Amino acid sequence: MSTSPAKGILFHRFLQLSTFGALALYVVFPSTALGQQNDALASHFSGKPVTIIVGSSPGGGYDISARLIARFVGKYLPGNPSFIIQNMPGAGQLRGLRATMKAKPDGLTIGQLHPRFVVQELFGKDVAGFDLDTVNVLGTPTGVDYPRMWCTRRDLATSWQDILKLGKPVTVGANAPGGLSATLGPEFVQALGGPVRIIFGYGGASEVMAGFDRRELDSIQYCTDDYVPRLFPEWIKQKRLAPIFWWSAKPSDDYVGQLGSSNLPHIADALGATADQRKALEVAMGFGRMGRLLVAPPGLDNRIYQVWKTALEAAVRDPEFKKVAAAAELDVGLGTAEEFRENNAALKRLPKNMQEMVKKLAGMK
């Protein structure tokens, strides 16, 4: 490998500094033991396929994020291994998680962890085949706050005050309780005793949006610019949506303006939430932010764990990874294992009644 003259001069000047000379030599010429360890790790991964188990069907957000990681993380792992995506849908992703936890702890099989199982374990509900104390959390490539917004039909209401004047609950559709992300807003309203009735059983965002389009639902939580322009652009032209409030990340003023509204309030401000209630909402959003977590089974050697964790973090920071993710319309940002553990700890610091609120937001009450 060639080195420019300027870099060479700086390098030799660095060696001349007696205080740091020994350290520099150590960095440039690693010990034989360290070299052997790196060779062993490269040999461990080289020529072997790594399986990423996805607990949902192909085409969804969990599947897409796993395939992106499979495309990029190999170049940051020793031995540059190949990858296989194994979709194992069933039981709300629990089938895939259990398979991951049963896999041989050799770093050649990893999987994904939905935050609902984390919350269940934290609140004392045993998730069969999964142990929060022994799972090896690597991090997530989608540790970001997504714009989230709740809208009603414009002919029904245009503000939270209008909704309160209706004198009846406003309906919204969802897949299942405890989504901890897109449906968190309406569930927070319900937890505070607001006039919202959540109808569960829809298959996903597209089905909820179709139900709203058929006017069988009064409101919708999938009214941000990552859904509407792609699936129901006519809603924008017809000004059918009236934004009520936002949570997580604020939608752009330009997009809110396209819908015919302005000065959109945060959910906590619109509802007059207390400081403790805001903290409970923040913790719940923290669990939602930690979706699509990549995990390894219990018993993984710490050296392999650290190699995996470092490789994942490098892949998510890779500019090319971000470019491909943007083309796939997937917002990416590193969510670390340390952030995951801190949010778990934040839950335990909440007052008991606010822990119960988070429990309700997680669909456990």
* Same-domain pairing of 172 and 281: yes
Please report, rounded to a whole number, the percentage of residues in the chain having pLDDT higher than 70: 90
Is residue 86 in a domain?
A: yes
Taking only the tens place, the pLDDT of each residue in 59-103 is 888 999 999 999 999 999 999 999 999 999 998 899 999 999 999
* Same-domain pairing of 158 and 235: yes
Is residue 330 in a domain?
A: yes
* Same-domain pairing of 170 and 243: yes
Q: Of 253, 285, 317, which marks where a domain is finished?
A: 285
State the residue range of the domain holding 309: 41-142+290-334
Please report, rounded to a whole number, the percentage of residues in the chain having pLDDT higher than 90: 77
Residue 248: count of CB within 10 angstroms of its CB:
22
Residue 163 pLDDT more than 60?
yes
Is residue 29 in a domain?
A: no
Report residue 329's pLDDT band, with 50, 70 and 90 as the boundaries: confident
Is residue 168 in a domain?
A: yes
The Cα–Cα gap between 38 and 57 comes to 36
CATH number, domain at 152? 3.40.190.10
* Same-domain pairing of 268 and 211: yes
Mean pLDDT calculated for residue range 131-139: 97
* Same-domain pairing of 302 and 191: no
Measured distance between the N- and C-terminal CA atoms of the chain, rounded to whole angstroms: 61
pTM of the model: 0.80
Q: Parallel, antiparallel, or unpaired for β 82-87 and 49-54? A: parallel
Domain count within the chain:
2
Mean pLDDT calculated for residue range 164-180: 90
Residue 154 pLDDT more than 60?
yes
Is residue 249 in a domain?
A: yes
The Cα–Cα gap between 212 and 109 comes to 41
* Same-domain pairing of 152 and 268: yes
Helices and strands of the chain, counted as H and E runs: 18, 10
- 3-class state of residue 148 by DSSP: strand
CATH number, domain at 303? 3.40.190.150
* Same-domain pairing of 95 and 165: no
Is residue 126 in a domain?
A: yes
Q: Which DSSP category does 176 fall into?
A: S
Least confident of 56-60, 86-90, 149-153, 273-277: 56-60
Contact 151, 242 (CB under 8 A): yes
Taking only the tens place, the pLDDT of each residue in 18-46 is 222 322 222 333 434 445 567 889 999 99
The Cα–Cα gap between 90 and 119 comes to 19
In 3-state terms the chain splits into helix, strand, coil percentages (rounded to 5) of 50, 15, 35
How much is the pLDDT for 203? Answer: 81
* Same-domain pairing of 257 and 165: yes
pLDDT greater at residue 176 or residue 157: 157
* Same-domain pairing of 269 and 232: yes
